[in-house]
């Protein structure tokens, strides 16, 4: 049988963007097979088998592994965006969480996945990021951070189209 197009291979990932005092912590990812030499969320990665139905468990595990940050050090953790992108070889499904680092927590973060750096919010949109992350961060800074809405984003051509994912 000859392959034509995507045959349903999935890549599930979760990312967390930490903020504190008008700044956002980003990671310059180095050494990754999928996302390399670009700015990404504060922590994140692929789902483990036991996390396939729990994106929050994935992002909290990644936060502990990559930054040594535990759930008691953050507040206002929310899933804010879910995106889908067809790369031709796989469907990439990303879950984007946002949270605030508690004031008493350490701001000098070190990551074992690359270079962690705090950026003023107004500078974040200027950074090179993976395709869907770039659109998520831009939408969040322009609109999403002022609501509690959950947004779904579909990568369509050279953009990501967002819609509010309301409860029914």
Q: How far apart are CA 11 and CA 8, in angstroms?
A: 10
User: Where does the pLDDT of residue 114 fall: very low under 50, low under 70, confident under 90, or very high at 90 and above?
Assistant: confident
Q: Which residues contact 124 (CB under 8 A, 6 or more apart)?
A: 24, 26, 137, 141
The residue written with tokens 């509690």 in the block is: 148
Polymer length in residues for the chain: 168
Residue 2: pLDDT over 50:
no
Which pLDDT does position 52 carry in this prediction? Answer: 86
The answer to whether the CB of 127 falls within 8 A of the CB of 85 is no
Please state the pTM of the whole predicted model. 0.90
Q: Are 32 and 23 in contact (CB under 8 A)?
A: no
């Amino acid at each position: 049988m000859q392959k034509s197009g995507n045959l349903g291979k999935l890549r599930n990932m979760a990312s967390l963007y930490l903020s504190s005092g008008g700044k956002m912590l980003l990671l310059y990812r180095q050494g990754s097979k999928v996302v390399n030499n670009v700015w990404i969320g504060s922590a994140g990665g692929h789902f483990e088998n036991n996390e396939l139905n729990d994106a929050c468990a994935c992002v909290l595990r990644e936060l502990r592994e990559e930054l040594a940050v535990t759930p008691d050090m953050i507040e206002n953790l929310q899933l804010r965006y879910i995106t889908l992108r067809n790369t031709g070889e796989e469907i990439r499904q990303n879950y984007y969480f946002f949270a605030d680092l508690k004031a008493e927590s350490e701001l000098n973060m070190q990551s074992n996945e690359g270079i962690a750096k705090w950026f003023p919010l107004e500078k974040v949109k200027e950074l090179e990021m993976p395709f869907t992350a770039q659109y998520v961060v831009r939408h969040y800074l322009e609109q999403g951070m002022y609501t509690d809405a959950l947004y779904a984003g579909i990568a369509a051509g050279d953009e990501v189209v967002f819609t509010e994912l309301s409860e029914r």
